[in-house]
Structures are given as C-alpha cells and as structure tokens.
Structure 1
Amino acid sequence: MASLRRSGIGVALGALAAFGQAPYDQPVLLVAAFAFAVFVYHDCTNPRQAAFFGWAFGLGYFAHALQWIVSPFMVDVARHGWMAPFALLFLSAGLALFWGMAFYLARRFDPLRAWPLILCLPAVELLRAYIFTGFPWAMPAQAMINVAGGQALAWIGPYVLNLVIVAVAVGLALRGLTAAERILRYCALLLALGSALLPPMAPEAALTGQSIRLIQPNAAQRDKWDPDQIPVFFARQLKLTAAAPEAGKTPPDLVLWSETAIPWVLDRAEPALVQIAQAGGGAPVALGVQRRDDMQYYNSMVVLDAAGGVMQTYDKHHLVPFGEYMPFADLMARIGVFGLADRALGGYASGPGPQVLDFGPLGRALPLICYEAVFAHDVNAAPERPEFLIQLTNDAWFGKAAGPRQHLAQAQMRAIEQGLPLARAANTGVSAMIDPYGRVAAALPLNTSGFLDAALPAPLPPTLYSRTGDLPFAVVLLLGLVFMATMRLRAERNLSD
C-alpha cells in the first residue's frame, strides 16, 4: 500500500514538473517537483521500489508534457484515431522506463543517499537522445530556455544542464542537518531561484543588415492536401511572398516557405516553382517539397533562383519513426499499419546527412526540417560552421498549443548552443527569427496566416558546446558510473567478508 501511495505521489509530482515546459513555462515548478521527488525517493528502501517510483514520476511527467502527441492521429480520425490513446500511453510509459532505470541504478549504487541520481538521471536522458533514433523532447533543460539558466547551453549543452538541474534538486532535498549540508542546500536554493526566475542576461544581438521573409500560410493539416483547398493555400503563399515590405523595411534578401509547402512532387512542380520565383521578386526562395528519385521519396528543401530553377537541394536525414517511415515496414503493411505521412511502402527515404547551403550575401546556412531541430547532436554534426540556421516545419501536426510551442523552445535551444541565429518558417506557426542568445526577436502568432520581414542577426563566435559536443560529457559520465559501480561492488565484497 505504501508503495502504491508513493507511486501515486510520483505521478502527481511528474505532472507538476511538466508545468516547466511550454506552454506553461514555469521552470520553478519543474525544479521544485524534482526536489520533492528526490525527497520522496529517500523513502525507497530497495532498488525495485526506487525503479517503480522513478517510472511513476516519469509517467506523470511525459504524459502531461507530451499530451500533444494525440494530435497527429486526429487528423485522419477514421484511419488513425484509434491509435491516439495508445500512442500517448505507450510513449509516456516507454520514456518513463528511462527514469525508472535511473532511480533503480541510483539506489543500487547507494542504498541510503540520493546523490547518485546526479549522474544516473542525466545519463539516461543522454541515452534517450540517441537510442532507437532518439527522442529528447521535453528534457528538463528545455524548461530553462526563457530564463537565465538557459544561457548555460552555450557552454555546457543540454545534457550537462540536465545534470545541474538534478544536482540542485538533490541539494534542495537533503535531509541531513549538518552544517555542510545546510550550506549546500542554501547554495542549491540560490542557484535554483537565480537560474529559474531571472531573465536571460545577454547583450543585444548585432544585425547583419540582411532580412528574411517568413511565410506562414496556416494550412490546417486536415485541409492541407484537400484538392479544393490546395489552390487556396498556394495562392495565399504567393500573395504573402509578393506583398510589399512592411513600413520602413527593405525588400527581403531571402524568402522561406514552410515544410512540404506545396503538394506537388518536385519533378512535376515546374510551373508552380516559376510562379513562386516570380512572387519572390528576385530574392531566392527556399521551400519544403517532396522529392522523388528512383522511386524513393524524400522530405526536402530546395532553393530557387529568380527563374524558378532549383539551385540547391537538401534531403531530410533524421526522419520521424511511425510518422515519416515505418520500422519493419513490410510487416506493418501486411496488417494495414502505415506511417502518418506515408509515401511508397515504407515512407520517406533518409538523406545523406547534415548539409550546409550557400546563400550568398547572407552567408551559409544549415537547414533543419521539422524534427531535426530536436537533436543537438545533429546540428553539431554539420560539416562546417554556418552563419545561421534555417528550420522549415509543419507544426500543424502538433496541435494548437503545447506541441508547436515546445518545438519552438527546442529551436531556441539550438540557437543558444551554437551561438547562431535561426530563421524558422512554420506552416501554422510559430514562425520566428531567433537571435543567437535564443531570444525570439520577431514572430508571427500561432494559428494565423501572414508574413514577417525579420532582420537577420549576426552569428556569435563558436560556443564551447559547439566545439565539444556531447562526447566529453558522455566519457566523464561513463567514468563516473563505472567508479560508482566499482565502489558499490567493493562495499558489498567487504560486507560479505
């Protein structure tokens, strides 16, 4: 009974911690919930109890933070609606297993104290970002994006910031009353309040003198491929592209349309591409499009010249499992289960990897299509350092509240980590220009149509995290875990002697 009650408290604390994520943006609640969870964890007397409590804590957290995951399945209710509750339940329960493993290992390493969580929980969050193609959405560090603590991403990256958050929570939950422990608790409290309450402390970003027009057509996903609506949305995007600049602004140097902005496959879209280029008025236009090559389909971005010719092409390489492709596609097809954006039998094919495109006077840019902005290591894998980042996305899949705003927060994280501005064109929003400190310099509201002529900020010098990536932290983390395991084995051996 005590274990069930403790697990119920874990679910409630996890749900409370999720208020740190968008659209709530209350990082103090996240830190407080983690601290209370560590306090309750002290009462777990064995690794099994700790694992179940950690899993319950993760279940409440992910079920609340990722509730938007039902939205893609509701676009075609007749075909996919039945999957929605299972998707949320299985995804939340599956991700919670990582946290359950962290709490289990922490209790194995030390039967009495909570300090091993400082290494174990960040370790499983790092694992979550890589294993099974990775899904680091809603990591604790993401909650710090609009406060002072988020600026640490430029130095230590998201996974070390996770470690700092857990360390603060452990410090706040200390039960000891020694002088050293009281000092540690006060330090943790000051760090938590300062990093989670103060606004970002960064200077104004310098500007390049160039501008980018962001096009947001606001095509609802259920209408986007409707034959009757396709001409409406295409005409809307042409009109927004050709519109006169906003008062006091010069014509844009680049125009960005969103992911899969037109319904036609690239090799059949030449008339549409010519119209798009004409609307651009001489400025290059970059847009998302489906591309076909040797009967394989790609989710791509192309850059058009003034005549509508394709100058550069990028194919998305980090695809969404069960969305853009199906694992075990042949088997799934036999039982009638296909990806949400299925093309051919198994969905989209993966591109060769990150690619930097040259935009002339604006500089070089690293394109990210939708989901790719979720992965810090994908951006770090660029073959060379660009001057800015581009994200084209169709956040209509993600619902109308939490999903798009959480996706925006992750784009802000990538900007801080790299010290680079990020231009973001989103079908239903939020389209935004993000400065290299992760601040939204200009944006279009969610679920509205329009365009935005945004000044392009200048890049900062390479950040420490952009130079090091995750490998040094992973090595130190592994060594720490090995050390704890060795010390635990030695203690058990001494007890048996």
Structure 2
Amino acid sequence: MPSFLPPIRAAAYRLPLLSGWRRMTVAAVAGAVAALALAPLDLWPAVFIAVPVVVLLLDGAGRRRDGWRGGIRPAFAIGWAFGFGYFLAGLWWIGAAFLAGAENLVVLMPVAVVALPAGLALFWGAGAVLARLVWSPGWPRVVAFAAAMTLAEWLRGHLFSGFPWNSFGYTLAPSPLFMQSASLVGLWGLTALAFLAAAAPVLLLSIGPRRRPDRLAFLAAALLFALHLGFGAVRLAGGPDEAVPDIRIRIVQPAIAQNEKWASGEEDAVLGRYLALSAQPRADGATPNLYVWPETAFPFFLTERPQALAAIADMLPAGATLLTGAARAEADPRAENGLRVYNSVYVIADDGTIRDAYDKVDLVPFGEFLPFERTLSALGLRQVVAIPGGFDVGMRRRTLVLPAAPPAGPLICYEIIFPGAAVEPGNRPGWLANVTNDGWFGDTPGPHQHLRQALMRAVEEGLPLVRAANTGISAVADPHGRILAQLPLGPAGALDADLPRALPATLYARLGDGPFWTLWLLLSGLTIGTFIKTKTRD
C-alpha cells in the first residue's frame, strides 16, 4: 500500500461524520476548488480532489435512523453548497458588468454575484438528492453520482431558457486534446465523463470486501479516461487542417470602452477606429477579402446612416465582404418608441449594400432584456444594455450566405454557449462566426471562459471558428479547437488569418445528444440495477 494512502484514508473517514455548517462549509470549499479547473487557470487535477470529498460527504447523508427520507435534506444541502462554491468561484466576474457602463445598476451587483450562484446551485442540490435516493455502497455510488449530477447539469442548460455556462464538462477541457470526444458525445457526454472520472479516486479508499471490486471499477474509470485522451491524440495527429483557398480574413478588435460604445457624439470616432484598423496593410502584403467586426459595432443604426455605409464601401477592397455586428431597427407602432431593436449581424458587400442579416435568438436575461419587464421596471430596474425596452428576439437560427466565401453560421455573444444549437438545422455552414462584446467583464476570467466554450462548439460541430471580440479575445480556430491566431484580451488590433476548411459533419453534428443519452441511460440502468440488487440482498 502506498505510504500516502493511510493518512488520506484516516482524514476521509472523518468527512461522512461532519454535519451542519461544517459539512456545508467543506462542500462549498470543494466546489471552489473544482472551479480552479475552469479557464483561465485550467488546474484540471483539482476536480480529482474536490469531487471525492463531496462523495464522502454524501456517504454520511443517510446516517439518520429514519431511513431514506432522512438523507434528503442533508444530501440537498451538500449538493447545493458544492454548487454554490463552484458557481461563486467561477462566475464572480459577472459583477464587473455593473461597473462598466451600468453604474446606475450597481445596487444589483450583490444580487448577480451571490443570488445567481445560489440559484444555479439548486440544480446541484437536486442532483445530489437524486443520487442519494439510489445510493449503494462501493463503486455503484460513483456511477449514481455521475448520472444524477449530469442530469442536473443538462437541466440547468435547458430549463428557464438554459444557462450552461461553466458546465462541469469544461473542467476537463483545458486543451484541444481533452476536447475531441465532444465530436462524439458533445458537452453533456464530457460532463458525464468528468463527474465519473473525478469521483473515481474515492474508490481507492475502500477496504474489506469492497476493496477488490472498487479497485477494478477505478481501473475501468481510468481506462475510460485514457481512451478519451487517446481518441483526442489520434484525432489531432493529422496536423493542421487545410485552409479554404483564396479566403483572407481580417478580424478587427477595436477595444472600445463600454462608456464610449453608446456615448452621444462618439459615432464618427467609433466608426473611424474600425475603418482605420481594417485599412492597415497585412504583414504579407496580401489584401483581405473577408472582414469581421464584433457585436453591436456601431453606436447608431447603420441603415439610418448612408454615409457610414458609403465609408465602409470605400474601405472594402473589390470583391471583399464585411460581416459585422450591429443593432438593427424595425418600425412597429406596437413597440416602445415605435421600434423593435434587434442585436444583429449584417453581411455588407463591397458596394456598401446590406446583403443579408441575422437577428440574435438567445438574449441574455437582465443583460439584453428584462424578464417580467412590467413588474421589474415598475421597481426601477432595467436591462444592462441601454436600449429602451431592450432587444427583441430573433425568429430562428439561420445560415448567412456570403458573396465570395463559404456560408457563415452567426452566433452573437452568449449564443455560442449552447451545445447542439450552434447551426441552422438542415443548412450546415462552412464556419462559425462568433461576434461578441466581452468588454463588460474587463480583465477577468469571463472572456477566457467564453472563448473556451466557443472552441468546444467548433469541436462538436467540426467547423472552424472565427471570433471577433470588442476587447478580446479575438481568434481563429480550426475544427479541432486549435487556436491558429489570436489577439490578447485588452489591446486594440487587427488579426489576419486564413479560413480553415470545415470537417465532414461529426457524429455529434449528425445525431445531436443521442449518443449522450445512450451513455446516460447505461449509467442510470447500472445504477438502478445495482441499487435494486443491493436492497433485495439486504
């Protein structure tokens, strides 16, 4: 026996005996430790310490004499505290939005920073209860924990419009090597693997009759994780992906401060910055023919400023195209101020004409629109974006046709965090165009986490990613999630790159969450089967 195991085992045996605030404190600390695995720190081994602690705490949740019902309340408390620590440590940076151009909403900062993690943690509390209801000694409890917590994460990503930011699968996605299995089972499959693999080390602490089967189960989990990494290595072994011929991209990162983006009188200066960065010569002397500008690039409605479209036409070389974020207005007498305003992407040709447009479908609650607007606005609240009534919701996801480049799948900011919803069904694009403004969050983990999720979508769909961010991180990545070029967070600049060629549709792109649900049903069936067998034997 390794010399380090006895003291670890002795400490582990004390964890199930904890109760009350001590138990919740340990669970919350474990959640915060697990969050160290998220971008930008990427300390992924942390989950192999944090998750076993939670499993041991749940072991002690059923010690009361009043049977399985007695374990529900402590199980929920453990799961909730674990989730609260994880989400608080992983999402604290959301408070920065209230200090960057939304100072009149600074009173809401504590609500956002504390209440959001507390609300998200409810899903993990429910997951812990579900796991504890089918808890069996030894390795089956690890499978039960993985199945229940994965279901909780899937529900968090779908219910009430969904918020899958920092789903647990991202804790084991620090590099493209770890991401490639997403092309088979997507983010939710990686989430199941992350919970299963992270919980498995607790099996090394088993003694007595359970020691041998638990060790074998640990080896099975380790083998599964090794196969996951091996698949990633094989998939990346082919080297760089080919580029689409004759497509030369220029991404503009203007680094416009939030208090300038919508400031009155800054319209010409903002447009001038975009035009100047776009007009800079490439290092290789070639002329770009596909320009990408970030989300809501203009502090005005582009269709109301023909001189702005004329300036863009003068800047664009012959045959070039601009893909840009912009606010789009549509007259509607029923809407506030007679206008419906959309967060959109325009396709602008070299003659300054708008050839196509896409309106954002997934709006950020409290950021771009105010839920329960009539009630909350009466209390003096409004959305962070300073547009009366907020943005309106687009009709559907759609692929944009470009004059001289492969069709683009536009994803505006937050839209790229939703797995399985990145492209228009039945109309697969040639690349993902993610335009965003992460300037709200400053130099915090937020922009790094956002980029990581965008890379995961590229791997899932087998599509290259072109990402234009106001303050960074702008990047071009291939369909394997490898970053080929990027601009760092903060400074202004222009990024030149070729467009990688798309891969054939991945298994995940073809079947969606089907492979994940097959895996989840296997885990659940194994859990329920062993639980029934254990109860029958007892």
TM-score interval (norm. to shorter): over 0.9
Cα separation, partners in 2 of 1:215 and 1:159, compared to 1, 3 Å? same
> Would you say the 8 A contact 1:42–1:114 is kept in 2?
no
> Would you say the 8 A contact 1:141–1:150 is kept in 2?
no
**Residue 182 of structure 2: aligned partner:** 153
Distance 1:479 1:188 in 2: 14
Residue 39 of structure 2 corresponds to residue 22 of structure 1: yes
Distance 2:507 2:183 in 1: 6
- Aligned partner of residue 42 in structure 1, secondary structure: helix
Residue 305 of structure 2 corresponds to residue 275 of structure 1: no
Distance 2:524 2:483 in 1: 38
Range with bigger deviation, 422-431 or 329-338: 329-338
**Residue 387 of structure 1: aligned partner:** 430
**Residue 120 of structure 1: aligned partner:** 148
- Aligned partner of residue 376 in structure 1, secondary structure: coil
Residue 169 of structure 2 aligns with an amino acid whose one-letter code is: A
Range with bigger deviation, 456-465 or 217-226: 217-226
Distance 1:353 1:234 in 2: 29
**Residue 406 of structure 2: aligned partner:** 363
Task: Determine which of 65, 89, 95 is the counterpart of 2:90.
Answer: 65
Range with bigger deviation, 123-132 or 265-274: 265-274
Task: Determine which of 329, 335, 343 is the counterpart of 1:299.
Answer: 343
Distance 2:467 2:380 in 1: 35
| 1:87-102 equivalent positions in 2, closer than 5 A | 87-102=112-127
**Residue 513 of structure 2: aligned partner:** 470
With normalisation by structure 1, the TM-score equals: 0.93
> Would you say the 8 A contact 2:361–2:394 is kept in 1?
yes
Range with bigger deviation, 378-387 or 476-485: 476-485
Cα separation, partners in 2 of 1:427 and 1:35, compared to 1, 3 Å? same
Length, aligned pairs only:
493
**Residue 251 of structure 1: aligned partner:** 287
- Aligned partner of residue 377 in structure 1, secondary structure: coil
Residue 486 of structure 2 corresponds to residue 443 of structure 1: yes
Deviation of 1:361 after TM superposition, in Å, equals 3.7
Task: Determine which of 202, 205, 211 is the counterpart of 1:173.
Answer: 202
Distance 1:464 1:198 in 2: 14
Residue 22 of structure 2 corresponds to residue 5 of structure 1: yes
**Residue 269 of structure 2: aligned partner:** 232
Range with bigger deviation, 433-442 or 224-233: 224-233
**Residue 408 of structure 1: aligned partner:** 451
Residue 50 of structure 1 aligns with an amino acid whose one-letter code is: A
Deviation of 1:111 after TM superposition, in Å, equals 5.4
Deviation of 1:71 after TM superposition, in Å, equals 1.3
Give per-residue Cα distances to partners, 1:292-312, cap 9 Å, x unaligned.
Answer: 112211001111111211001
Cα separation, partners in 2 of 1:286 and 1:348, compared to 1, 3 Å? same
Distance 1:313 1:125 in 2: 33
Residue 447 of structure 2 corresponds to residue 422 of structure 1: no
Give per-residue Cα distances to partners, 1:103-136, cap 9 Å, x unaligned.
Answer: 1110012254343112111111111111111100
Distance 2:145 2:424 in 1: 29
> Would you say the 8 A contact 2:464–2:478 is kept in 1?
yes
> Would you say the 8 A contact 1:366–1:382 is kept in 2?
no
Distance 1:486 1:343 in 2: 55
Give per-residue Cα distances to partners, 1:334-375, cap 9 Å, x unaligned.
Answer: 111111114333x11111111111224421111001010011
Distance 1:36 1:192 in 2: 20
Deviation of 1:285 after TM superposition, in Å, equals 0.8
- Aligned partner of residue 66 in structure 1, secondary structure: helix
**Pairwise CA RMSD:** 2.5
Distance 1:280 1:455 in 2: 18
**Residue 336 of structure 2: aligned partner:** none
- Aligned partner of residue 61 in structure 2, secondary structure: coil
Residue 385 of structure 2 corresponds to residue 326 of structure 1: no
Task: Determine which of 180, 191, 194 is the counterpart of 1:162.
Answer: 191
> Would you say the 8 A contact 1:58–1:99 is kept in 2?
yes
Range with bigger deviation, 59-68 or 392-401: 392-401
Cα separation, partners in 2 of 1:407 and 1:415, compared to 1, 3 Å? same
With normalisation by structure 2, the TM-score equals: 0.86
Structure 1: segments with no counterpart, 5+ residues:
none
Distance 2:33 2:439 in 1: 26
Structure 2: segments with no counterpart, 5+ residues:
1-17, 63-70, 333-338
- Structure showing greater radius of gyration is 2
Deviation of 1:332 after TM superposition, in Å, equals 1.6
